[in-house]
Amino acid sequence: MAPARRTLPFVLAGLFALWLVVPAAPVSPQLKGPGTGSRGGVVFSVPMEAKFVAITFDDGPSPSLTPAVLGILRQHSARCTFFPIGREVQKYPEVARQVVAEGHEIGCHTFSHVYFRSPAMARLESEFDTCEKLFPETLGVRPTLFRFPGLAYDTTMVQAAGKRGYTVISCSLDAYDWRIKDAKQLAQRVTSLIRPGDIVLMHDGDWLNLPRAKEALGLIFDSLQQQGYICITVSELISFGLAEQGRDQGPE
């Protein structure tokens, strides 16, 4: 085999790897969570001293897991924010309506959970359009919070969401419930790392192991309650954080 032909596969592999890591033109840094505070138009956490936290659930609704999650939240008087996928809302509208009926907040997590790059802005705008029609018609709510799939986005995409009136939400603590296989280890990760003002990323998609997810959630909410944490929605967390900052500054 000629030297050029032998090296071609390695050259192609290198070019593909480069495409994965180099941001698309126009150059705009790829931002990813978790983080703390707010930057670049994205909220990661809300600085505060009071023991308020926001637990969030992505990728639902699931006809098996979401009702189980709601039951655990009900037992602990917790209010949370759900970022459902539009196509799952379309498939399981009654489950999604139950989330709303029980007083939880609904954000948007795109319609099809694809990973976007700036050149694909037309696809992102189309997904916005679809969800902005679907959610009010199906759930009677128009979300004001948005979370990008995989917490992957760039400044162009964040600006596009902002123009639509969304606040882009990432997280300060990823539970890794998609990776940690042991319920006790998963619960320990969340309950040992959590801090006031945290936004915690979890999931209620039907791809999760139901018994493990239920056990971990029960342990997490039991521990948070014992530690004195109050679980509220992301919007409430942002509002309470602003109010706390105002009190700290005092009268002008």
Catalytic residues: 58, 203
Question: Treating both helix axes as pointing N-terminal to C-terminal, what angle do 183-193 and 210-227 enclose, rounded to 10 degrees?
Answer: 30
Task: Give bridge partners of residue 201 from the DSSP assignment.
Answer: 56, 174
Q: How many CB atoms lie within 10 A of CB 112?
A: 15
Question: What is the C-alpha to C-alpha distance for residues 137 and 211, in angstroms, rounded to an integer?
Answer: 33
Which residue, 159, 207, 158, is CA-closest to 59?
Answer: 207
CA distance 146 to 86: 12
Q: Which residues contact 139 (CB under 8 A, 6 or more apart)?
A: 89, 93, 96, 97, 100, 106
Which residues lie across from 152 on neighbouring strands? 32
Position 65, amino acid: L
Residue by residue, DSSP assigns 51-108 as -EEEEEEES---TTHHHHHHHHHHHTT---EEE--HHHHHH-HHHHHHHHHTT-EE-B
